[in-house]
Amino acid sequence: MATRLLAPVQAWSARRALRAARASADEQLLASRLPSPRLAWRSAELTSAEHRVALGRSLADVVHAADERLLPGATPLDRSAVRESRAQLLGVAALLFDTGRTVAPRGVLMVEHLLGDGAGPLYGRSGARPLRLELARVAAALEGRD
């Protein structure tokens, strides 16, 4: 009976430990150009076809949301910068969608940070130049050229 009562707490603890392990692995992968064999599990998660396709779809959704024919959504996208950087955004999405090609886990993490960082060049009013520079860095990291 006690094990059934503790099961939700144990599951919560396990999820919390996994989140912490992922965060630690992400920091190490971002800091290093060459992934450690110790972090192979996280590299495999990041470069899996499902994860890559989901990130590619998110980038395509950002481009679609910036269309001038649509009303602005709740997300504070820098719509003009996204429209000016449309080709680069779709180029990065194409790299992610091409699952027959290998990508670097560091580049995938950079895409995640680009999409999730509310203070980054994709959001706010920083202009198109910072977004283009970041997209060039991301594309180079995905291809392993950084």
Q: What are phi and psi of 98, to 5 degrees?
A: -80, 85
Domain ranges (residues) in the chain: 2-143
- pLDDT (tens place) for every residue of the chain, 146 residues total: 566 666 666 677 778 877 787 777 777 777 666 667 777 878 888 899 999 999 999 999 999 988 878 777 767 888 889 999 999 999 999 999 999 999 999 899 999 999 998 888 998 888 889 999 999 999 999 998 86
| Dist CA 121 CA 128 (whole Å) | 8
Please give the structure tokens belonging to residue 25: 């692995």
Amino acid letter for position 129: R
